[in-house]
Amino acid sequence: MRRGEVKGTQLFKQKQEIRKTFKELFEEFLLSIKVKGRSEYTIRSYKYHCKYFMEFLGEDTLCSTINESTFEEYILYIQDVKKLNNGVTVNSYLRNISPIVKFGIKKRYIVEDFQIPQVKCQETFKEIYTREELNLLLGKPKKHDFNTLRTWAVIWTFASTGVRARELRELKVKGVDLLNRSVAVNSTKNKKARYLPISNSLAEVLTEYLEVRNGESEDYLFPTVYGDQLAQSTLQKSIKIYCNTLGIDKCSLHLFRHTFITSAVNQNVSPLILKKITGHSTLKQLNNYYNAKTTDMVNVIDEIAPKINRKESMFKKARRK
């Protein structure tokens, strides 16, 4: 009995509350993901999405006081005070806090194990670039200055490979292999390097662009006019100006990825091959990018839906009765 009592006391002591503030938890979490080699983009995203939660909690709030009710109140806070009423945006903020909470539960800083609530919102279709819009964007520009040709080549690369904007900004001149028609992507979201196959048309565009680019092997493929890495904001602005000049309102960088994947699925490309090209970890992730239009579904519905027996119309049969 005495041994059991001692053992029970020891177990009880192990489960005692560890007093840590959420701010201390967050700093420890950031250190752990830095050690694991997470990218600066990922770390920046956690910091960005946590700023409202830190404001809501206050610096001295103990982790032990955080529970499901805390997040229910936080949702109301960001909706009413911060005026973030878009359910998708709110859920993105909550999702980026979730790994920190799980880390705190694992460390026993947060006592209660719970699931962070999500806001229910109506899912909507994301409109992709039409074939007509792509034809306009991919047409040879009249201007031949470096910025215009770079943006044109960037759009061709987005539309032909579905590469992420972050990955495109990291591409190097040495990664382009025009002979074997591939581009090496060495800086990726999931840390897995891959090769992008490039079409004959994209190879021609890159050949023409590289004659103007004329960089060294270690240089960025799509740099600024000074040879530096292109900032995300600069890339977005250049695409927006290029699209608007052609009378196209859509200018999302990520929309090219949605368009590429949708087009590939409509062309019956194997999901496994497509997953390799796009760099998705799972087919479930890939599925989220497919945007089937009504016309696409109408084209296949006759093959899978029941058909009327053409030998005798059901309406004629009904009239005879």
If you classify domain 131-253 with CATH, what class do you get? Answer: mainly alpha
Q: Is 185 helix (H, G, I), strand (E, B) or coil?
A: strand
Domains 16-106 and 131-253 share a fold: no
Tokens of 102: 């799980």
Query: Rounded to an integer, what distance in angstroms lies between the CA atom of residue 185 and that of residue 120?
Result: 36
pLDDT of residue 5: 52
Contacts of 19-24 with C-beta under 8 Å, sequence gap 24+, read: 19/62, 19/64, 20/62, 20/63, 20/104, 20/107, 20/109, 21/59, 21/60, 21/61, 21/62, 21/63, 22/53, 22/54, 22/57, 22/61, 22/62, 22/63, 22/66, 22/104, 23/54, 23/59
The string of pLDDT tens digits covering residues 233-249 is 999 999 999 999 999 99
Q: Give yes or no for a contact between 73 and 94, defined as CB atoms under 8 angstroms apart.
A: no
Going from the C-alpha of 318 to that of each of 306, 311, 312, 313, 321, the distances in angstroms are 19, 15, 11, 9, 5
Q: Residues with Cβ < 8 Å from 164, sequence gap 6 or more?
A: 188, 189, 254, 257, 279
Single out the residue of 124, 133, 132 nearest to residue 250, CA to CA.
Answer: 133
pLDDT of residue 1: 45
pTM listed for this prediction: 0.69
The string of pLDDT tens digits covering residues 144-187 is 899 999 999 999 999 999 899 999 999 999 999 999 999 999 87
pLDDT of residue 248: 94
> Domain residues of the chain, as ranges?
16-106, 131-253
pLDDT of residue 214: 85
Q: Residues with Cβ < 8 Å from 242, sequence gap 6 or more?
A: 137, 148, 151, 152, 155
Q: Is 177 helix (H, G, I), strand (E, B) or coil?
A: strand
Q: Amino acid identity, residue 246?
A: L
pLDDT of residue 244: 95
pLDDT of residue 220: 96
pLDDT of residue 188: 75
- Fold category of 16-106 in CATH: DNA polymerase; domain 1 (1.10.150)
Rounded average pLDDT per 10-residue block, the chain, 321 residues: 50 63 95 89 89 91 94 93 86 92 94 91 76 94 93 95 92 93 84 87 94 91 94 95 94 89 81 78 60 51 54 52 49
